[in-house]
Structure 1
Amino acid sequence: MAAITTPTTHTLRALNPCPWLLSFRHMYPPSFSSSASFSPSLSTSEEEDSEHHSTLSSDSTPKPIKQTQSFYPKRGQTIELVCETLAFKGKGVCKVPETGFVLMCDRALPGERFLGRVTRKKGTYAEVVKIKTLTPHQDAVDAPCEYASYCGGCKTQHLSYEAQLKHKEQQVRELMMHVGKFSDERSDFPSIMKPIVPCANEFHYRNKMEFSFSNRRWKPREFLEEEQGIGNDFALGLHAPGFFDKVLDVNKCLLQSEPANAVLLAVQNCWRDQSLGLSPYNVHSHAGFLKHLVIRSGRDVHSGKPEIMVNFVTSAYKPDLLEPLVDKVSAIPEVASIVNNINTSVGSTSIGEVEHVLYGKATIAEMLRGLTFQISANSFFQTNAQQAEILYKLIEDAAGLRGDGSEIVLDLFCGTGTIGLTLAKSVKHVYGYEVVAQAISDAHQNADLNGIRNATFVQGDLNKIDENFGKSFPMPDVVISGSFSRLL
């Protein structure tokens, strides 16, 4: 589920903005051939408003009718498709042979032949929901998560990890060629586009998960008639794909650690109790108390054992209401910190204006490349600490440091300074820039914690720099852009 694409570390003398990033989300995969056939438009009662209410049994599957003429699909049509590749975020890509029209389908795998229903058209492409698989992908596997068919977090969990890596690497390769304008015919292309680095752990690698409370529980169609009763519309979990106001109720997530799952289950088992007077936040009326449950995992610096931070994000400060939840969660041995962030805004962010410590300490720790980092509730930290160790070693290797401690390193979008701080022992000075004030504060704290004196961190918006920016630091020998160093 996680892998590293090799980071790009440049030795640059000038800084330029990256306008190509703005076009990233508008990219489409290159042309592929595929087969498609269409049926007449379905009746209004058969059309689906969303891909999440489209699961049909095989005996109710509309039969596609072959068409020889060339035309664009319409909403409600049933199409026989062959998926050719995976696009960004795991959507399967198909095309109409005669027109080249692009159709995108969640959970369709390359090589899979299936029946899909057109749900909506978006300019130059249309979205399709899969109704029935006719011929499965050769690398298809059984998804281990019970929510994999509905949750938007792991859309390719039913594809083998090795195949996931192959398609992720292909996506990066196409970005390098079509956006970066690198030619794969260049003799040095293999040194630019290096192989993807797999993760040793497919699951339980993520050290931060954010769950939402909601008064609008989303249920798969086959479960709509089940669990009728008071409180069944309440949910704590992950947003259903395509919905900002509906949440899929979950009791366990395979991405986070087992102690973190113990916390999630403990909260699930008690927060709906009407006697507690707890209410989920309503994003429409802006009423309600509980907004988010954020769970972070770290390691005790002395024992190396897991430690957990639990962050309740609420619309107001009412510690008495949270006391029953705090009692339940604090009984879990790994829980070292429980905080309450107060977010009075109408937005869905989990970052609060004020933070209160309800139990334990205000931060937890994590260790990377021999350094200790204190992590607060709202600070940025690489969500896969194990891969971050590998990533930072790749960055150091790519930087080509001379070993005499003479280099100046400029760390852009530095976050809490983790990359720059791991290089500080080998260079003359590190200068880090980041727009988030809390992240800069954490970077200073982490530098002090590790006794690092040759690092300077500055809060500033790198999207608004001018010609005077380069006068704030010596000429850098190495420039690291956090935008290019990312975990997948």
Structure 2
Amino acid sequence: MPRRKSGKQHFENIEVLDAGAKGKSIAKAPDGKVIFLPNAVPGDVVDVQTFKKRKAYYEGKAINFHTLSQKRTEPECRHFGVCGGCKWQNMAYEHQLFYKQKEVINNLTRIGHITLPEVLPIIGSKKHYYYRNKMEFSFSDSRWLSQEEIESQAAIGNKNALGFHIPGMWDKILDIEHCHLQADPSNAIRNAVKQFAIRNDLEFFNTRHQTGFLRTMMIRTSSTGELMVLIQFFKDHVAKRELLLDYISGAFPEITSLLYVINTKANDTIYDQDILCYKGKDHINEEMEGLRFKINAKSFYQTNSEQAYALYKLVRDFAGLSGSELVYDLYTGTGTIAQFIANRAKKVIGIESVPDAISAAKENAQHNKIDNVDFFVGDMKHLFNDQFMRIHGRPDVIITDPPRDGMHKDVVQQILNISPKKVVYVSCNSATQARDMALMNAIYKVIKTQAVDMFPQTYHVENVVLLERRETDN
């Protein structure tokens, strides 16, 4: 087999032209191939070192900047460029919005071959920083070391870290001093816990060797002012566990839900683990238009509460309900959209594959005194079938909010078989959204689309599309 060329080439004075998928900027090489760059902004003029070559493109890095783009801004975070969480902090927010909307339009038109009669302006976030209501941090006894630290030859003392995984390095954690994504007291709690653990010789986790005591920490906040902290331990040691939890409780009395989990598995996921309440309640509450949603440690809830409200209002507006419709809410999660629109519909049926999510949806609906919603658990491509329709009725409107992979082709086909008058498609991945809509194009036409920026400083964006059934000549 012939060896693939390494693609290591050097190009000078290359203008960065655009921003594309996964936050990478786009330039053109002298030979006409596209160059993807992770560390440049459209408008920069740079020298490029490539490290990978494919048939139609290079992957590279800007190694020298001749001209800095006017679209640039100074990153707020000292960890920018190392932490992979906020790749667009060096781009002014109005330009972030421009490129997010551009990518959505490109995906819908190029992948889906969709005609877009009305593209409404992207809904930006009022908060550009400190907008997340959930953060997860990892403990490590072998933190990531900068090149300067490695080359200094100086003895490196404490290697403990509490922060984020370095992109592409599953066993290395970047120690975070200040994160600009979650409002106080998030940073104060994280830094205090780290220092207390070091002072008291509480062992930080080692992912490679599966040793240690402290594994992860999750912090959740809510618009109601409630605060959840969950510590994940690799093994149980009652005295050490209670020492740390008592310290957290005393140092931060504003915590309303202090939880822990003992997870001895090889991975950090807690969805198959027992969550134990150490102090306070086992949940926090989120509120929206008088509806209260109980959020436990395993609950999915949009991580930008203010923009979640904007997103749900948009979905409700696109659905255009009069009060007489049967609505199906596919991939309903904990039923937040279903309950949010319930007072505008005759009946709403939510379907979700995660049993815990459906249990939470039913509990929240009961608490909110909503009696025209029903929730069902099951694999979408199996449960959402003709028999289900015969029992529960054929929907007038379908709202679908699938995961990043989009809808299974069988689910798309079932929507086409049912052929409701309207489909409101919510997506966190406009590429898979476009793929699914291409399958629906013969029966449905796009009426309008609008993006919602849930994650400033990143390339991620939500998009909502209203589709209506095409009129037939019959």
Same fold, judged at TM 0.5 (above) = yes
Q: 2:198 aligns with which of 242, 267, 272?
A: 272
Give the Cα separation in 2 of the matches to 1:372 and 1:239: 33
The answer to whether structure 1 residue 296 and structure 2 residue 220 are counterparts is yes
Which residue of 2 is the match for residue 53 of structure 1? none
Q: Quick one: structure 1 residues 85 and 469, their matched pair in 2 at CA, closer, same or farther if it must change by over 3 Å? A: farther
User: Structure 1 residues 271, 222: CA separation in 2 closer, same or farther (over 3 Å shift)?
Assistant: same
Q: How does 1:128-143 map to 2 (within 5 A)?
A: 128-143=60-75
State whether structure 2 residue 131 is matched by structure 1 residue 199: no
Matches within 5 A, 1:15-414: 74-80=6-12, 81-98=14-31, 100-121=32-53, 124-183=56-115, 189-191=116-118, 193-225=119-151, 228-232=155-159, 234-273=160-199, 275-280=200-205, 282-300=206-224, 306-330=225-249, 331-402=251-322, 405-414=323-332
1:462 aligns with 2:380: yes
**Partner of 1:83: helix, strand, or coil?**
strand
Q: What TM-score, normalized to structure 1?
A: 0.77
**Identity of paired residues, percent?**
37
Q: Is the 8 A contact 1:339 1:358 kept in 2?
A: yes
The residue aligned with 2:347 is 429
Give the aligned residue type for 2:28: K
Letter in 2 for 1:197: I
> C-alpha displacement at 1:75, in angstroms?
4.6
Provide the TM-score with structure 2 as the length reference: 0.79
Distance 1:190 1:157 in 2: 32
Given that 2:43 and 2:71 are in contact with CA atoms closer than 8 Å, whether structure 1 keeps it comes out as no
Q: Secondary structure at the match of 2:197?
A: coil
Gap runs ≥5 in structure 1: 1-71, 184-188, 301-305
Shift of 1:162: 0.2
SS in structure 1 of the partner of residue 256 of structure 2: strand
RMSD: 2.2
Contact 2:16–2:25 (Cα < 8 Å) also in 1: yes
How many Å separate the matches in 2 of 1:445 and 1:121? Answer: 53
Contact residue 316 and residue 343 of structure 1 kept, 8 A: yes
CA distance in 1: counterparts of 2:86 and 2:255, whole angstroms: 26
AA at the equivalent of 1:94: A
- Tell me the alpha carbon deviations over residues 197-249 of structure 1, each in whole angstroms, 9 at most, x when there is no partner: 011110111000111122331133234356843432x2211111222111111
| Distance across 2 between alignment mates of 1:440 and 1:459 | 6
One-letter amino acid matched to 1:95: K
In the alignment, the residues of structure 1 paired with residue 204 and residue 37 of structure 2 have an alpha-carbon distance, to the nearest angstrom, of 36
Q: CA deviation at 1:124?
A: 5.0
SS in 2 for 1:84: strand
Residue 194 of structure 1: how far off its partner (Å) = 1.9
Q: Cα gap change, 1:295/1:163 in structure 2, threshold over 3 Å: closer, same or farther?
A: same
Alpha-carbon distance in structure 1 between the residues aligned to 2:313 and 2:73? 33
Q: Give the residue type in structure 2 aligned to 1:477.
A: D
Separation (CA, whole Å) in 1 of partners of 2:92 and 2:262:
41
Which consecutive unaligned segments of at least 5 residues does structure 2 have? Answer: 403-425, 429-453, 455-460, 462-474
Partners in 1 of 2:176 and 2:42 — Cα distance? Answer: 29
Could you tell me how far 1:375 is from its partner in structure 2?
0.5
Name the SS of the counterpart of 1:388 in structure 2: helix
Question: Whole-Å Cα distance in 2 between the matches of residues 379 and 257 of structure 1?
Answer: 20
Which amino acid letter does the alignment assign opposite residue 278 of structure 1? E
CA distance, structure 2, for counterparts of residue 277 and residue 450 of structure 1: 43
Aligned length: 400
> Residue 58 of structure 1 corresponds to which residue in structure 2?
none
Task: Give how far 1:360 is off.
Answer: 1.3
CA drift at 1:468: 3.8
Q: Is the 8 A contact 1:341 1:352 kept in 2?
A: no
What's the offset of the Cα at 1:462? 1.6
The structural deviation recorded for 1:467 is 4.9
Contact preservation (8 Å) 1:151, 1:248: yes
Asked whether the equivalents of residues 235 and 263 of structure 2 are also in contact (C-alpha less than 8 Å), the reply is yes
